[in-house]
Amino acid sequence: MSTRAVRFKQVDVFTSVAFKGNPLAVIFDADDLSTERMQSIARWTNLSETAFLLRPTDPRADYRVRIFTTATELPFAGHPTLGTAHALLESGYATKTPGKLVQECGVGLVTLAQDDRGRWAFAAPPARITPLDDAERQRLTDALAPASIDFSAPPCAVDNGAPWLIVRLRDAAQCLSLTLAPAAKEALTALVAETGTHGIVVYGPHENGVLATFELRALLFGAENIEDPVTGSANAALAMLLTAQNKRPGDAYTVRQGTALDRDGRVSIAYDDRSDGSPVWIGGDSVTVIDGTFRF
Protein backbone atom coordinates (compact mmCIF):
# COMPACT_ATOMS: atom_id res chain seq x y z
CA MET A 1 0.00 0.00 0.00
CA SER A 2 1.50 3.34 -1.05
CA THR A 3 1.68 6.24 1.37
CA ARG A 4 2.00 9.96 0.93
CA ALA A 5 4.26 12.16 3.03
CA VAL A 6 3.77 15.90 3.61
CA ARG A 7 5.28 18.45 5.96
CA PHE A 8 3.71 18.67 9.39
CA LYS A 9 4.10 20.96 12.37
CA GLN A 10 2.44 20.99 15.76
CA VAL A 11 2.47 24.49 17.12
CA ASP A 12 1.64 25.86 20.56
CA VAL A 13 -0.24 29.15 20.11
CA PHE A 14 -0.64 32.18 22.38
CA THR A 15 2.49 31.29 24.30
CA SER A 16 6.26 31.49 23.96
CA VAL A 17 6.67 28.52 26.33
CA ALA A 18 5.91 25.05 24.97
CA PHE A 19 2.94 23.23 26.51
CA LYS A 20 1.40 26.39 27.99
CA GLY A 21 -0.75 27.53 25.06
CA ASN A 22 -3.21 25.88 22.68
CA PRO A 23 -1.79 23.22 20.35
CA LEU A 24 -2.54 23.18 16.63
CA ALA A 25 -1.72 20.59 14.00
CA VAL A 26 -0.75 22.07 10.62
CA ILE A 27 -0.79 19.83 7.53
CA PHE A 28 1.02 21.28 4.49
CA ASP A 29 0.29 20.64 0.80
CA ALA A 30 -3.29 19.52 1.42
CA ASP A 31 -4.80 20.55 -1.93
CA ASP A 32 -5.74 17.05 -3.06
CA LEU A 33 -7.28 15.95 0.23
CA SER A 34 -11.05 15.52 0.32
CA THR A 35 -13.17 17.12 3.02
CA GLU A 36 -13.82 13.65 4.43
CA ARG A 37 -10.09 12.91 4.56
CA MET A 38 -9.35 16.20 6.31
CA GLN A 39 -12.04 15.48 8.87
CA SER A 40 -10.70 11.99 9.54
CA ILE A 41 -7.18 13.38 10.03
CA ALA A 42 -8.48 16.07 12.41
CA ARG A 43 -10.35 13.41 14.35
CA TRP A 44 -7.14 11.39 14.60
CA THR A 45 -4.92 14.27 15.77
CA ASN A 46 -7.54 14.78 18.50
CA LEU A 47 -6.65 18.46 18.99
CA SER A 48 -9.13 21.29 19.30
CA GLU A 49 -8.26 22.24 15.70
CA THR A 50 -6.23 20.95 12.78
CA ALA A 51 -5.34 23.33 9.93
CA PHE A 52 -4.78 22.30 6.31
CA LEU A 53 -2.65 24.56 4.11
CA LEU A 54 -3.70 24.94 0.47
CA ARG A 55 -2.95 27.15 -2.51
CA PRO A 56 -5.11 30.29 -2.47
CA THR A 57 -7.94 30.80 -4.94
CA ASP A 58 -7.92 34.58 -4.42
CA PRO A 59 -4.85 36.32 -5.92
CA ARG A 60 -4.74 38.75 -2.99
CA ALA A 61 -4.13 35.91 -0.52
CA ASP A 62 -0.79 34.41 0.47
CA TYR A 63 -2.36 31.07 1.30
CA ARG A 64 -5.64 29.31 2.00
CA VAL A 65 -6.48 27.33 5.11
CA ARG A 66 -9.27 24.95 6.06
CA ILE A 67 -9.81 24.48 9.77
CA PHE A 68 -11.33 21.37 11.36
CA THR A 69 -12.22 20.40 14.90
CA THR A 70 -12.56 16.71 15.70
CA ALA A 71 -16.21 16.98 14.69
CA THR A 72 -16.69 19.70 12.06
CA GLU A 73 -15.14 22.34 9.80
CA LEU A 74 -14.96 25.96 10.97
CA PRO A 75 -15.08 28.98 8.65
CA PHE A 76 -12.73 30.83 10.99
CA ALA A 77 -10.85 30.32 14.24
CA GLY A 78 -8.25 32.48 15.94
CA HIS A 79 -5.52 30.22 17.22
CA PRO A 80 -5.36 28.29 13.91
CA THR A 81 -4.99 31.62 12.10
CA LEU A 82 -1.94 32.62 14.16
CA GLY A 83 -0.54 29.09 14.35
CA THR A 84 -0.84 28.41 10.62
CA ALA A 85 0.88 31.71 9.82
CA HIS A 86 3.70 30.82 12.23
CA ALA A 87 4.15 27.37 10.67
CA LEU A 88 4.12 28.75 7.12
CA LEU A 89 6.64 31.50 7.85
CA GLU A 90 8.92 29.13 9.76
CA SER A 91 8.93 26.81 6.75
CA GLY A 92 10.60 29.55 4.71
CA TYR A 93 7.65 31.22 3.00
CA ALA A 94 8.32 34.77 1.80
CA THR A 95 5.32 37.06 2.22
CA LYS A 96 3.96 38.98 -0.77
CA THR A 97 4.14 42.16 1.32
CA PRO A 98 6.80 42.54 4.04
CA GLY A 99 5.30 42.34 7.53
CA LYS A 100 1.89 41.31 6.23
CA LEU A 101 0.03 38.10 5.40
CA VAL A 102 -3.39 37.58 3.86
CA GLN A 103 -5.15 34.35 4.77
CA GLU A 104 -8.03 32.96 2.74
CA CYS A 105 -10.51 30.91 4.78
CA GLY A 106 -14.23 30.25 5.16
CA VAL A 107 -15.09 33.82 6.19
CA GLY A 108 -13.10 35.30 3.31
CA LEU A 109 -9.78 37.14 3.59
CA VAL A 110 -8.16 37.73 6.99
CA THR A 111 -5.16 40.04 7.27
CA LEU A 112 -2.25 39.40 9.62
CA ALA A 113 0.36 42.04 10.44
CA GLN A 114 3.65 42.03 12.30
CA ASP A 115 4.27 44.49 15.11
CA ASP A 116 7.52 46.20 16.11
CA ARG A 117 8.44 43.23 18.32
CA GLY A 118 8.04 40.78 15.47
CA ARG A 119 4.85 39.32 16.90
CA TRP A 120 1.95 38.62 14.55
CA ALA A 121 -1.68 39.61 15.02
CA PHE A 122 -4.78 39.02 12.93
CA ALA A 123 -7.50 41.48 12.04
CA ALA A 124 -10.68 40.24 13.67
CA PRO A 125 -13.49 39.53 11.21
CA PRO A 126 -16.73 41.51 11.59
CA ALA A 127 -19.04 40.19 14.29
CA ARG A 128 -22.82 39.95 14.61
CA ILE A 129 -23.97 40.68 18.18
CA THR A 130 -27.30 39.37 19.50
CA PRO A 131 -28.39 40.13 23.11
CA LEU A 132 -30.18 37.41 25.04
CA ASP A 133 -33.87 37.83 25.72
CA ASP A 134 -35.23 37.86 29.29
CA ALA A 135 -36.01 34.14 29.37
CA GLU A 136 -32.56 33.22 28.08
CA ARG A 137 -30.91 35.54 30.61
CA GLN A 138 -32.79 33.87 33.44
CA ARG A 139 -31.83 30.38 32.27
CA LEU A 140 -28.21 31.50 32.03
CA THR A 141 -28.32 32.95 35.56
CA ASP A 142 -29.81 29.74 36.94
CA ALA A 143 -27.19 27.59 35.20
CA LEU A 144 -24.21 29.65 36.37
CA ALA A 145 -25.36 30.17 39.98
CA PRO A 146 -23.75 30.95 42.38
CA ALA A 147 -21.39 32.82 40.02
CA SER A 148 -22.19 36.52 39.91
CA ILE A 149 -22.97 37.80 36.39
CA ASP A 150 -22.15 41.44 35.76
CA PHE A 151 -25.27 42.56 33.88
CA SER A 152 -23.82 46.03 33.30
CA ALA A 153 -22.39 44.23 30.26
CA PRO A 154 -25.40 42.16 29.14
CA PRO A 155 -24.68 38.59 27.97
CA CYS A 156 -24.72 38.34 24.17
CA ALA A 157 -24.24 35.83 21.38
CA VAL A 158 -21.37 37.06 19.19
CA ASP A 159 -20.66 35.46 15.82
CA ASN A 160 -17.48 36.26 13.84
CA GLY A 161 -17.42 32.90 12.06
CA ALA A 162 -17.04 31.05 15.38
CA PRO A 163 -20.13 31.93 17.46
CA TRP A 164 -19.84 32.32 21.24
CA LEU A 165 -22.18 33.21 24.10
CA ILE A 166 -20.21 35.79 26.10
CA VAL A 167 -20.88 36.45 29.80
CA ARG A 168 -19.10 38.93 32.05
CA LEU A 169 -18.60 37.87 35.67
CA ARG A 170 -17.86 40.16 38.61
CA ASP A 171 -14.11 39.45 38.67
CA ALA A 172 -11.35 37.05 37.60
CA ALA A 173 -11.73 34.99 40.78
CA GLN A 174 -15.37 34.24 39.88
CA CYS A 175 -14.22 33.15 36.45
CA LEU A 176 -11.55 30.80 37.78
CA SER A 177 -13.74 29.27 40.50
CA LEU A 178 -16.65 28.50 38.17
CA THR A 179 -17.70 24.86 38.26
CA LEU A 180 -20.72 23.33 36.56
CA ALA A 181 -22.90 20.56 37.93
CA PRO A 182 -24.35 18.04 35.45
CA ALA A 183 -27.72 19.83 35.47
CA ALA A 184 -26.01 23.16 34.70
CA LYS A 185 -24.08 21.61 31.82
CA GLU A 186 -27.32 20.19 30.43
CA ALA A 187 -29.02 23.59 30.68
CA LEU A 188 -26.09 25.37 29.01
CA THR A 189 -25.92 22.77 26.25
CA ALA A 190 -29.55 23.54 25.43
CA LEU A 191 -28.98 27.30 25.66
CA VAL A 192 -25.95 27.38 23.36
CA ALA A 193 -27.84 25.24 20.84
CA GLU A 194 -30.79 27.61 21.00
CA THR A 195 -28.56 30.67 20.47
CA GLY A 196 -26.60 29.01 17.66
CA THR A 197 -23.27 29.19 19.50
CA HIS A 198 -20.45 26.70 20.10
CA GLY A 199 -20.22 27.36 23.81
CA ILE A 200 -20.02 29.92 26.57
CA VAL A 201 -17.22 32.40 27.23
CA VAL A 202 -16.96 33.73 30.78
CA TYR A 203 -14.57 36.53 31.63
CA GLY A 204 -13.83 38.82 34.54
CA PRO A 205 -11.46 41.68 35.31
CA HIS A 206 -8.30 41.18 37.35
CA GLU A 207 -8.25 43.43 40.38
CA ASN A 208 -5.02 45.28 39.66
CA GLY A 209 -4.41 44.40 36.02
CA VAL A 210 -0.87 43.15 36.72
CA LEU A 211 -1.48 39.52 35.65
CA ALA A 212 -3.71 40.63 32.77
CA THR A 213 -6.67 42.89 32.18
CA PHE A 214 -9.13 39.98 32.06
CA GLU A 215 -9.25 36.29 32.90
CA LEU A 216 -11.21 34.29 30.31
CA ARG A 217 -12.51 30.75 29.93
CA ALA A 218 -14.15 29.19 26.85
CA LEU A 219 -16.41 26.20 27.55
CA LEU A 220 -17.73 24.21 24.60
CA PHE A 221 -20.94 22.20 24.70
CA GLY A 222 -22.63 19.82 22.30
CA ALA A 223 -20.45 17.84 19.87
CA GLU A 224 -17.39 18.87 21.90
CA ASN A 225 -17.82 19.06 25.65
CA ILE A 226 -14.47 20.54 26.63
CA GLU A 227 -12.76 23.67 27.86
CA ASP A 228 -10.63 25.29 25.16
CA PRO A 229 -7.17 26.30 26.45
CA VAL A 230 -6.74 29.62 24.57
CA THR A 231 -9.23 30.93 22.04
CA GLY A 232 -8.51 33.60 19.44
CA SER A 233 -12.04 33.79 18.05
CA ALA A 234 -13.53 34.21 21.53
CA ASN A 235 -11.09 36.99 22.35
CA ALA A 236 -11.88 38.68 19.03
CA ALA A 237 -15.60 38.40 19.76
CA LEU A 238 -15.12 39.84 23.24
CA ALA A 239 -13.10 42.77 21.87
CA MET A 240 -15.93 43.63 19.48
CA LEU A 241 -18.52 43.27 22.24
CA LEU A 242 -16.60 45.54 24.62
CA THR A 243 -16.69 48.27 21.99
CA ALA A 244 -20.42 47.80 21.38
CA GLN A 245 -21.10 48.00 25.13
CA ASN A 246 -18.79 50.98 25.77
CA LYS A 247 -16.64 48.76 28.03
CA ARG A 248 -13.31 49.04 26.23
CA PRO A 249 -10.42 49.23 28.74
CA GLY A 250 -8.38 51.63 26.60
CA ASP A 251 -6.70 51.18 23.23
CA ALA A 252 -5.07 47.90 24.22
CA TYR A 253 -5.46 45.22 26.85
CA THR A 254 -4.36 41.66 27.66
CA VAL A 255 -6.17 38.42 28.47
CA ARG A 256 -4.96 35.40 30.40
CA GLN A 257 -6.64 32.13 29.47
CA GLY A 258 -6.10 28.46 30.27
CA THR A 259 -5.25 28.92 33.95
CA ALA A 260 -7.87 26.36 35.01
CA LEU A 261 -6.16 23.82 32.72
CA ASP A 262 -2.63 24.55 33.99
CA ARG A 263 -1.89 26.55 30.84
CA ASP A 264 -0.75 30.15 30.67
CA GLY A 265 -2.12 31.54 27.44
CA ARG A 266 -1.53 35.24 26.78
CA VAL A 267 -3.56 37.21 24.26
CA SER A 268 -2.87 40.81 23.26
CA ILE A 269 -5.72 42.92 21.95
CA ALA A 270 -5.24 46.27 20.21
CA TYR A 271 -7.79 48.71 18.87
CA ASP A 272 -6.41 50.67 15.95
CA ASP A 273 -6.88 51.42 12.28
CA ARG A 274 -4.17 49.76 10.26
CA SER A 275 -3.99 49.83 6.50
CA ASP A 276 -7.12 47.75 5.88
CA GLY A 277 -9.21 49.57 8.45
CA SER A 278 -9.83 46.69 10.86
CA PRO A 279 -10.79 47.96 14.34
CA VAL A 280 -9.53 44.99 16.38
CA TRP A 281 -6.26 43.05 16.22
CA ILE A 282 -5.62 39.83 18.16
CA GLY A 283 -1.99 38.90 18.74
CA GLY A 284 0.19 36.44 20.54
CA ASP A 285 3.33 34.34 20.37
CA SER A 286 3.61 30.85 18.87
CA VAL A 287 6.23 28.15 19.31
CA THR A 288 6.79 24.96 17.30
CA VAL A 289 6.79 21.77 19.37
CA ILE A 290 6.83 19.08 16.66
CA ASP A 291 8.36 19.48 13.20
CA GLY A 292 8.36 16.53 10.85
CA THR A 293 6.47 14.46 8.29
CA PHE A 294 2.86 13.34 8.20
CA ARG A 295 2.27 10.02 6.40
CA PHE A 296 -1.13 8.77 5.26
Residue 84, SS3 per DSSP: helix
Strand duo 199-205 + 214-220: pairing? antiparallel
| Run of H or E residues at 87 | helix 78-90
Using CA atoms, how far apart are residues 122 and 113, in angstroms rounded to an integer? 6
- For 201, the 3-state DSSP assignment is strand
Catalytic residue, candidates 49, 90, 136, 207 = 49
DSSP annotation of 122 reads E
Q: Measured between alpha carbons, how far is 185 from 169 in angstroms, rounded to an integer? A: 18
CA 179 to chain centre: 22
Integer-rounded Cα Rg, in Å, for the chain is 19
**Identity of residue 219:** L
The question of whether 227 is a catalytic residue gets the answer no
Instruction: Kindly provide the residue ranges of all beta strands, DSSP E only, lying in 28-174, ordered along the sequence.
Output: 50-54, 63-68, 73-74, 100-105, 108-114, 120-123, 128-131, 156-159, 164-168
For the range 257-261, what are the long-range contacts, defined as Cβ-Cβ under 8 Å and sequence gap of 24 or more? 257/14, 257/215, 257/216, 257/217, 257/218, 257/229, 257/230, 257/231, 258/20, 258/21, 258/22, 258/229, 258/230, 259/176, 259/215, 260/176, 260/217, 260/227, 261/227, 261/229
Other CB atoms within 10 Å distance of the CB of residue 45: 18
DSSP annotation of 124 reads: P
Pairing label, strands 227-228, 199-205: unpaired
Q: Which residues are catalytic?
A: 49
